[in-house]
Chain A
Amino acid sequence: MTFDEILNISPYSLGRAKKEKLLTERLAELTRHHRANCPEYEAMLKSISFDESKISDYSELPFLPVRLFKELELRSAAKEDIVKTMTSSGTTGQAVSRIYLDRVTSSNQQKTLVKIVSSFTGSSRMPMLIIDCPSVIKNRAMFSARGAGILGFSMFGSDRQYALNDDMQLDIETVEKFLEKHSGERILLFGFTFMIWQHFYRELVKLRDTMGKTFDLSNGILIHGGGWKKLVSEAVSQERFKECLTDVCGLHDVHDYYGMVEQTGSIYMQCECGHLHASVFSDVIIRDPYDFSVLPQGEKGIIQVVSTIPESYPGHSLLTEDEGILLGEDDCPCGRLGKYFMVAGRLQNAEIRGCSDTYAAKF
């Protein structure tokens, strides 16, 4: 099964049995591909005498810890075919992951993101307000996760505008002009959770309280991601985050997403019911932190992510350092099929990661 065939499937259309078959087939294929093309990966699988032809479903595939990409240069493509190296977000002093992308994997990431996001936003592009500063995408050779996130989502924007200046201050005049120009239109807003809270929401509150100035974003759809750590420590829950935004600027169509640079593209979008959903392109498995067995619905464990995209690096099955809870499968009231889940936070003593969280560590 090629990735192009998978791309033709509507993102939330497969029930458990069909999705399991699809994933098992594709992920076993990817395992074979990476064994043949990445000597380090082959050595690891050989050392546990793993045989992918003997598995009955994809939960039996080995998973690499995400931090391995910090320690090893893991590539399944020739060095000269690598067109982009993505790095994880990390606080100062942390080692960063390096993810090597060739043309095929890079383009499949973008295609997947378009499929997933446009199933929420519709296929037409919208004027887009990016709640970040323009300098994030300046260093083009080495792409940070933050820049990659912004750039990946830029595809959905027509007229794109950054809402913050390079000092991370709200550029009121620019935002005003932008909203005037597109008044009455549906607007896409994108940013990382903490930046939105700190530099957008708080500034809007200040403007309202001191100058009586308000912005109307009731036509907007906000997509945000990158971690909740800092906001949780400030006792801002997901519900409160949404309520506050509705209160200050009328924004009510708000979607969080869960994703990571090691599996760019196959993100998990939050539905109208507040659940994160796995699309046909990827899946989550919640594992017991002590023996790594698969946990049933409702129990908190470590999140394993599998993705059908990675061909240029062996990242199709990874153990994250996040904890999560499987909430259900194929029966979310929103109608989307597949697993839905919540992220419960980072593992104790895990490094700070996430575009939002690493930035917030400075505050």
Chain B
Amino acid sequence: MTNLEKYNDAFITTFEITEDQLAGLKYQDIQAWDSVGHMSLIAALEDAFDIMFDTDDIIDFSSYEKGKEILSKEEYGVKF
């Protein structure tokens, strides 16, 4: 799996959504991505990429696009 596939898969599995819903998706846009869902998504991404997010990044992780930006940071080093 490519990193993008892994990233998408975490969203799709956690929120039970389809790939076409991902672009532009924001926190609280869908019922599944509430505060509980958020922590599940974080856990899924941490498992998938074997990383640990900083608390500040968990809070800043406000959309599908923003998450990619955060993961691309040096400390996580995920390339898309």
Contact = CB atoms under 8 A, between A and B. Distances in A.
A140 interface: yes
B28 interface: yes
B27 to A, nearest CB: 8
Interface string A76-120: 000000011000000000000000000100110011001000100
Interface stretch (B2-10, B12-20, B54-62, B66-74): B54-62
A114 B55 contact: yes
Main secondary structure of the interface of B (DSSP, over half): helix
Interface residues of B, number: 17
Given A84-B34, A103-B28, A140-B34, A114 B56 contact: yes
Nearest to B26: A103
Contact of A118 (B27, B36, B55): B55
Size range of the interface on A? Answer: 20 to 34
Contact of B52 (A83, A114, A125): A125
Contacts of A123: 54-56
Contacts of B21: none
B52 A158 contact: yes
Given A83-B28, A103-B28, A125 B35 contact: no
A155 interface: yes
B45 to A, nearest CB: 13
Interface of A: 83-84, 103, 106-107, 110-111, 114, 118, 123-125, 137, 140, 151, 154-156, 158, 160
16 contacts: A103-B27, A103-B28, A110-B35, A111-B59, A118-B55, A123-B54, A123-B55, A140-B34, A140-B36, A140-B37, A155-B39, A155-B58, A155-B59, A158-B46, A158-B52, A160-B43
Interface of B: 27-28, 31, 34-37, 39, 43, 46, 52-56, 58-59
B59 A110 contact: yes
A125 B28 contact: no
Given A123-B55, A125-B54, A155-B59, 13 more contacts: A110-B59, A111-B59, A114-B56, A123-B56, A124-B54, A125-B55, A137-B36, A140-B34, A151-B39, A154-B39, A155-B39, A156-B55, A160-B43
Contacts of A137: 36
B35 A151 contact: yes
Contacts of A111: 59
B2 to A, nearest CB: 26
B55 A151 contact: no
Contacts of A154: 39
